[in-house]
């Protein structure tokens, strides 16, 4: 081409007019960046599920490689230009290394666009060839599946295809779990077996591959056939995944950005042409402006238009120019290469059957330039939104971060990567971004993820019996509902495991309570004595002062007399400090153990639970025992007006602030719940009007064997080693007194089987109670949890590896998750009972909650809330944490009992004594 070949002014003007829409001004790019940012934020929201265009899919990858990964893995890499099957060998420690062997297999178009079965059979065929070729057909290797399409995941080994993109359109796959489809195809072939442990997106695989080299890599970018990015997001920003601590990788699927029309103003008619001619019109609009699959097609559309305008190829549109897909993106990369002379451009056009002049080749080169430049600029604007978000997540002025990149467009196009980097710098000036090219593809990353997932997978398999499906939880819910009915019925109560004890509390506070009361709170972690003043100036206020007293083990395990003498002594000490020894204040006694009552101020202890085993108390009235102990002292007097269970106290305390509160829940040392039941359902108490609070004593659920199918060997071992074998079996699966010990027993067994601590077992690890529930809570704090695990396990002398710490954290999660799920199922039964009692379609209620496990465990409350809402979707439940303990509630109950006795004339008419059968003859007005 003679140097002198130039475009005429008119040609120039018309060409500029055609290409002008591709020249995006910085303001426009900033607008795109901000719109992308808005879509990212929206996609993370719970309410955006199913609506957002940028789907922000959780990947269940919660960390980048830390060098402890090791093992032999198979990896599949499907969705990019090539389908690869890889064998990846990872060594950890000082000589850490990754060896990879791979084979590339073609995916014919008819397979890409055939049936799902054909596609997955083809994949399995390729795996078989690879295993044959590598001579490892017999080895059931763990497999990591890079599947480069939008998948909604519920866990690392599940991925439901949201919709095909790029060149794929196989039928019966969208909405299906691609891991199941692969497992099915392997089963169909029945020639080898594989353990599919993880399915990951190629952006995630790329981030992990690069993260292995650079720990600062928290973003994965693909600029290839398709376009997409993932990044590590703070859990607290991911509304649809439980938990607020740590990070999880989010697959943005930004290819769909603009599918809601938000960037239509920068889409050109050529973009619309390409979209209409694509396999998925209207979808992946951003991808169709930025990725390798479409850039060539955009250029072809422009060339056709310019040719129609007579600006190119002498206005002749050749057959080949009409052919869709003929102008592949690789030609752009070649044509735009600076080293390529115009003559060579003409040769390329020739190969495409396009006879061109020098001017033509100049125009074609320019067209390619503006199309690829726009793609890189748009990609840069999107990435600027991501790095800016990371910077704000970290709350730093200046962010340093690495982006792992892969994809033929980024790798092969001469300018794309440079323009992309410059654009990010321009649009995110406070971010210093390093771009790390992935040399090994995402297969390596997939293997690293599989290594971590495999560890947890083994434990999941090992503790399979502790992972309860919703189906099982709904079954437990139905069983508990039956137990409730048995407990309420006169005929079945005597043999019922769940005693459903009437409490003679008939309603929650109504705001009229007032007075000066003492409340005793015995049975939880602490023995508390409170002074509660309820007054009525402008509005009802409650003032409380309290003291915590120790209850040494020898008192808890000694005689009942010593125990109540101790209680009376502490009360004396408290009244001393309060200078009220001369007063006879009404006392409300929160006694957190199963008591049969026939009236408010009487409580016959049925059986001790938790840490208590004082003799001579079971079967006795604890009010009498306390009165006796006080009398014996003779240095003060007290009027015990009411004995209440801590669940009742908690319901009353929360009822003081929320009139809708009709359930009291304790998840602490022990566990239990009470709720307001219709009198007509309570056979043991006379009368059908109104309601009475029932203390379910659900801790004993399963004592009749009704939970044997879900109890594990560890639960049985806990029970055998407890103070009350055969009793409180549900409590022993759920509550704080036992959770740490459950974990310890599991760790001992896993160590014995060489799954942990390289089989090391130390005397500390073998010591009962050495692993406490507060350790479980500390270890599940995801940020510092692993460090805590190391600290705690080191104290147990087992010299834990990092892997061990991850494994132990996972065991803690499984045990505490089971607890929250089981409580959700029994609570669900109570909520269904309340809903049916009220005969409403949708129940709106409040549950008052207390207890150290619920309060202190970092994830417990959220898990309980979430599972409860899933198991009883037609209930709107507010969980109200009791800030001030059950003492306040006990005072409320006492206030009403006191008001009733002080208005003695009523007493005359309504003696409240129960007959032998425990029934009260007269309606209690309370
Ligand atoms: C190589 C990765 C693969 C990814 C591909 C994307 O190993 O997972 O899908 O890059 O680039 P493309 O081949 O689509 O250009
Ligand atoms: C605080 C309440 C008390 C209850 C305790 C239960 O005031 O009545 O027994 O919560 O939680 P725990 O202390 O057993 O964890
Ligand atoms: C897919 C993404 C993938 C990207 C790059 C897109 O079409 O939706 O899942 O990451 O291509 O391969
Ligand atoms: C007791 C219940 C109590 C619960 C929570 C259980 O062991 O039996 O009465 O409500 O612990 O403290």
Give nearest CA residue, ligand 4 atom 2.
593
The Å distance, Cα 812 to ligand 4 centre, comes to 23
Name, in order, each residue with C-beta under 8 angstroms of 809's C-beta and a sequence gap of 6 or more.
Answer: 779, 780, 785, 786, 789
Q: How is the beta sheet containing 691-695 ordered, strand by strand?
A: 501-502, 691-695, 671-678, 661-667, 843-850, 875-881
Q: Is the CB of 678 under 6 A from ligand 1?
A: no
Q: Is 773 in the pocket of ligand 4 (CB under 6 A)?
A: no
Contacts of 198 (CB under 8 A, 6+ apart): 143, 144, 145, 156, 157, 446, 449, 450, 453
Give yes or no for residue 159 CB within 6 A of ligand 3: no
What is the predicted pLDDT for the residue at 4? 52
Q: How many CA atoms lie within 13 A of 251 on its CB side?
A: 29
**Ligand 2 near 649 CB (within 6 A):** yes
Q: Are 874 and 835 in contact (CB under 8 A)?
A: yes
> For residue 329, how far is its CA from the centre of ligand 3 (angstroms)?
17
Q: Is 664 in the pocket of ligand 4 (CB under 6 A)?
A: no
| Rounded Cα distance, 36 and 25, in Å | 16
Q: Is 202 in the pocket of ligand 3 (CB under 6 A)?
A: yes
Distance CA 552, CA 550 (A): 6
Burial of 848 by CB count in 10 Å (0-12 exposed, 13-18 middle, 19+ buried)?
Answer: buried
For residue 284 and ligand 1, the question of a CB distance below 6 A is answered with no
Residue 159 contacts residue 204 (beta carbons within 8 Å): no
Q: How far apart are the first and last CA of the chain?
A: 103
**Angstrom distance (rounded) from CA 144 to CA 76:** 6
Task: Note the Cα 160 to chain centre separation in Å.
Answer: 17
Nearest to 920 by CA among 582, 598, 561: 598
| Pocket lining: 278 vs ligand 3, CB cutoff 6 Å | no
Parallel/antiparallel/unpaired status of strands 586-591 and 639-644:
parallel
Task: Identify the DSSP state of 882.
Answer: -
- Best substitution site from 168, 221, 222 to test ligand 1's pocket, by max atoms within 8 Å of Cβ? 222
Q: Which two tokens stand for residue 353?
A: 């059957």
d(CA 674, ligand 2 centre) in Å: 14
Task: Report the nearest-CA residue for atom 4 of ligand 2.
Answer: 524
Question: Which residue's CA is the nearest one to ligand 1's atom 7?
Answer: 441
Ligand 1 atom showing the smallest separation from residue 209 Cα? 7
Best residue for ligand 4 mutational test, from 526, 672, 853 (most atoms within 8 Å of Cβ):
672
504 φ, ψ to 5°? 65, 20
For the chain, the maximum distance between any two Cα atoms, rounded to a whole number of angstroms, is: 121
- Please return the burial class of 890, using the count of CB atoms within 10 Å of its CB with bins 0-12, 13-18 and 19+: buried
Q: At 1, list the tokens.
A: 């081409």
- Ligand 3 atom with minimal separation from the 147 CA: 9
CA atoms of 695 and 672, how far apart (whole Å): 8
What the block records as the tokens of 622 is: 């604890």
Is the shortest distance between the CB of 551 and ligand 2 below 6 Å?
A: no
How far does the centroid of ligand 3 lie from the alpha carbon of residue 227, in Å? 6
Q: Is 176 exposed, middle or buried (0-12, 13-18, 19+ CB in 10 A)?
A: middle
CA distance 76 to 87: 9
- As given in the structure block, the two tokens for residue 236 are 């607290």
Q: Is any ligand 4 atom within 6 A of the Cβ of residue 670?
A: yes
Mutate to test the pocket of ligand 1, among 98, 167, 224 (most ligand atoms within 8 A of CB): 224
Q: Are residues 219 and 165 in contact, defined by beta-carbon separation less than 8 angstroms?
A: no
DSSP per-residue letters across 549-579 = E---HHHHTSBHHHHHHHHHHHHHHHHHHTT
Q: Is 731 in the pocket of ligand 2 (CB under 6 A)?
A: no
Residues of the chain with pLDDT under 50: 905-926
The two structure tokens encoding residue 814: 């499984």
Burial of 772 (0-12, 13-18, 19+ CB in 10 A): middle
- Between the CA atoms of 363, 369, 375 and 376, what dihedral angle is there, to the nearest 10 degrees? -170
Spatial CA neighbour of 607 closest among 690, 520, 703, 536: 703
Structure letter (DSSP) for residue 434:
E
pLDDT score at 5: 54
CA of 148 to the centre of ligand 3 (A): 5
Closest ligand 3 atom number to CA of residue 203: 10
150 Cα nearest atom in ligand 3: 9
Ligand 3 atom closest to Cα of residue 226: 11
Ligand 1 atom at minimum distance from 79 CA: 9
253: Cβ below 6 Å to ligand 3?
A: yes
For residue 822, how many other CB atoms are within 10 A of its CB?
Answer: 27
Measure CA 616 to chain center.
47
Query: Which residue among 76, 88, 147, 206 is best mutated to probe the pocket of ligand 1, counting the most ligand atoms within 8 A of its Cβ?
Result: 206
- Is the pTM of the predicted complex or chain greater than 0.85? no
Output the residue whose Cα is nearest ligand 1's atom 15: 224
Strands 586-591 and 515-522: parallel
Distance 363 CA to ligand 4 centre (A): 82
Residues forming beta bridges with residue 77, ordered by sequence position: 84, 146
For residue 237, what are the β-bridge partners?
none
Alpha carbon distance 59, 51 (integer Å): 19
Ligand nearest to the CA of 528: 2
CA–CA distance, 432 with 514 (Å, rounded to integer): 64
Closest ligand 2 atom to residue 668 Cα is: 15
Q: Is the CB of 609 under 6 A from ligand 4?
A: yes
The finding on whether 77 has its CB within 6 A of some atom of ligand 1 is: yes
The atom number, within ligand 3, closest to the CA of 79 reads 12
Q: Which atom of ligand 2 is nearest to the CA of 886?
A: 7
Q: Residue 400 pairs with which residues in a beta bridge?
A: 432
| Alpha-carbon distances of 398 from 389, 401, 424, rounded to whole Å | 12, 10, 14
Burial class (CB in 10 A: 0-12, 13-18, 19+), 849: buried
Phi, psi for 660 (deg, rounded to 5)? -85, -5
Residues noted as catalytic: 528, 592, 646
Give residue 303 CA to ligand 2 midpoint distance, Å. 76
Q: Of all protein residues, whose CA lies closest to atom 11 belonging to ligand 2?
A: 851
Ligand 3 centre distance from Cα of residue 260 (Å): 18
Question: Which residue has its alpha carbon closest to ligand 4 atom 8?
Answer: 593
Output the CA 524–ligand 2 centroid distance in Å.
Answer: 4
pLDDT of 512: 80
Is residue 848 within 6 Å of ligand 2 at its C-beta? no
pLDDT value for 537: 72
539: number of Cβ within 10 Å: 7
Q: How many residues can be counted in the chain?
A: 926
Ligand 4 geometric centre to CA of 618 (Å):
15
CB atoms < 10 A from the CB of 485, how many? 16
In order of 144, 182, 344, the CA distances from 186 in angstroms are 15, 6, 48
* Of 427, 437, 61, residue with least CA distance to 221: 437
Is the C-beta atom of 646 inside 6 A of ligand 2? yes
- Cα separation, 96 vs 766, whole angstroms: 34
pLDDT reported for residue 868: 96
Å from CA of 226 to ligand 3 middle: 5
d(CA 74, CA 85): 7
Ligand 2, atom 9, lies closest to the CA of 524
pLDDT at res. 511: 79
Q: How far apart are CA 358 and CA 370, in angstroms?
A: 19
Spatial contact of 682 and 695, defined as CB atoms under 8 Å apart: no
Token reading at 285: 């609009």
Q: Is 441 in the pocket of ligand 1 (CB under 6 A)?
A: yes
User: Any idea which residue has 């980097």 for tokens?
Assistant: 421
* CA of 149, closest atom in ligand 3: 9
Beta strands in 334-410 (DSSP E): 399-406
- Residue 27 exposure: Cα atoms within 13 Å on the Cβ side: 0
Give the residue whose CA is nearest to atom 1 of ligand 2. Answer: 885
Distance 227 CA to ligand 1 centre (A): 10
């Amino acid at each position: 081409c003679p140097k002198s070949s130039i475009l005429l002014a008119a040609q120039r003007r018309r060409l500029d007019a055609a290409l002008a829409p591709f020249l995006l001004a910085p303001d426009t790019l900033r607008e795109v960046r901000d719109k992308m940012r808005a879509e990212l934020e929206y996609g993370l929201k719970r309410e955006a599920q199913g609506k957002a265009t940028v789907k922000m899919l959780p990947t269940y990858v919660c960390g980048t490689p830390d060098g402890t990964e090791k093992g032999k893995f198979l990896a599949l890499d499907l969705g990019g230009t090539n389908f690869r099957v890889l064998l990846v060998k990872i060594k950890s420690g000082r000589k850490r290394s990754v060896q990879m062997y791979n084979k590339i297999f073609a995916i014919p178009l008819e397979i890409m666009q055939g049936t799902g079965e054909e596609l997955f059979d083809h994949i399995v065929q390729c795996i078989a060839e690879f295993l044959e070729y590598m001579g490892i057909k017999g080895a059931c290797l763990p497999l990591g599946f890079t599947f480069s399409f939008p998948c909604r995941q519920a866990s690392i080994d599940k991925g439901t295809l949201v919709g095909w993109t790029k060149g794929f359109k196989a039928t019966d796959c969208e909405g299906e779990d691609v891991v199941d489809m692969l497992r099915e195809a392997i089963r169909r072939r029945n020639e080898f077996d594989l353990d599919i442990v993880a399915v990951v997106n190629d952006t995630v695989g790329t981030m992990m591959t690069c993260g292995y080299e650079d720990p600062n890599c928290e973003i994965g970018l693909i600029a290839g056939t398709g376009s997409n990015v993932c990044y590590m997001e703070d859990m607290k920003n991911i509304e649809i995944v439980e938990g607020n601590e740590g990070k999880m990788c989010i697959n943005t699927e930004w290819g769909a950005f603009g599918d809601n029309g938000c960037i239509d103003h920068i889409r050109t008619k050529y973009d619309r042409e390409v979209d209409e001619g694509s396999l998925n019109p209207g979808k992946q609009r951003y991808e169709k402006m930025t990725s390798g699959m479409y850039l060539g097609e955009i250029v072809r559309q422009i060339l056709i238009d310019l040719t129609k305008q007579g600006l190119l190829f002498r206005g002749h549109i050749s057959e080949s120019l009409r052919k869709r897909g003929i102008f592949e993106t690789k030609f752009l990369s070649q044509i735009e290469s600076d080293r390529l002379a115009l003559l060579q451009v003409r040769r390329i056009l020739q190969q495409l059957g396009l006879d061109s002049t020098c001017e033509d080749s100049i125009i074609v080169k320019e067209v390619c330039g503006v199309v690829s430049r726009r793609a890189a600029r748009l990609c840069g604007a999107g990435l600027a939104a991501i790095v800016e978000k990371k910077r704000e997540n970290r709350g730093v002025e200046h962010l340093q971060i690495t982006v792992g990149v892969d994809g033929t467009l980024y790798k092969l196009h001469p300018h794309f990567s440079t323009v992309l980097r410059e654009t990010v710098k321009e649009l995110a000036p406070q971010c210093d971004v390093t771009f790390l090219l992935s040399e090994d593809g995402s297969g390596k990353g997939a293997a690293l993820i599989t290594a971590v997932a495999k560890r947890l997978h083994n434990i999941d398999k090992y503790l399979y019996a502790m992972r309860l499906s919703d189906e099982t939880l709904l079954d437990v819910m139905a069983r508990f509902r039956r137990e409730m009915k048995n407990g309420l019925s006169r005929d079945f109560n005597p043999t019922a495991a769940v005693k459903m004890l009437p409490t003679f509390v008939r309603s929650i506070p109504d705001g009229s309570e007032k007075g000066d009361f003492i409340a005793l709170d015995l049975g939880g972690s602490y023995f508390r004595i409170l002074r509660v003043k309820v007054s009525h100036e402008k509005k009802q206020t409650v003032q409380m002062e309290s003291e915590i007293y120790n209850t040494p083990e020898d008192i808890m395990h000694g005689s009942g007399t010593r125990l109540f003498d101790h209680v009376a002594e502490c009360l004396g000490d408290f009244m001393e400090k309060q200078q009220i020894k001369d007063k006879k204040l009404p006392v409300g006694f929160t006694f957190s153990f199963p008591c049969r009552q026939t009236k408010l101020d009487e409580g016959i202890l049925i059986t001790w639970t938790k840490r208590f085993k004082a003799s001579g108390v079971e079967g006795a009235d604890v009010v009498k025992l306390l009165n006796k102990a006080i009398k014996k002292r003779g240095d003060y007097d007290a009027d015990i007006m009411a004995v209440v269970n801590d669940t009742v106290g908690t319901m009353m305390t929360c009822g003081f602030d929320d009139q809708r509160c009709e359930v009291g829940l304790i998840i602490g040392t022990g566990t239990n719940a009470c709720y307001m039941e219709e009198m007509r359902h309570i056979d043991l108490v006379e009368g059908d009007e109104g309601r009475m609070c029932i203390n379910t004593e659900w801790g004993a659920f399963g004592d009749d064997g009704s939970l044997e199918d879900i109890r594990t060997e560890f639960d049985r071992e806990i029970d055998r080693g407890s103070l009350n074998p055969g009793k409180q079996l549900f409590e022993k699966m759920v509550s704080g007194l036992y959770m740490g010990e459950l974990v310890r027993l599991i760790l001992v067994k896993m160590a014995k089987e060489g799954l942990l601590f390289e089989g090391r077992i130390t005397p500390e690890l073998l010591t009962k109670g050495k692993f406490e529930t507060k350790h479980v809570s500390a270890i599940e704090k995801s940020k510092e949890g692993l460090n805590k695990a190391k600290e705690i396990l080191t104290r147990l002398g087992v010299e834990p590896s990092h892997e061990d710490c991850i494994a132990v954290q996972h065991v803690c999660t499984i045990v505490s998750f089971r607890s929250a799920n089981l409580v959700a199922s029994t609570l669900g039964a109570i909520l269904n009972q309340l809903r049916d009692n009220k005969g409403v379609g949708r129940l709106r209620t409040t549950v008052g909650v207390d207890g150290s496990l619920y309060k202190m465990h970092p994830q417990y409350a959220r898990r309980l809330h979430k599972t409860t809402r899933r198991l009883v979707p037609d209930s709107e439940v507010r969980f109200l944490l009791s800030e001030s303990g059950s003492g306040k509630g006990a005072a409320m109950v006492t206030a009403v009992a006191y008001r009733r006795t002080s208005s003695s004339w009523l007493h005359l008419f309504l003696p409240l004594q129960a007959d032998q059968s425990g029934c009260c003859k007269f309606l209690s007005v309370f």
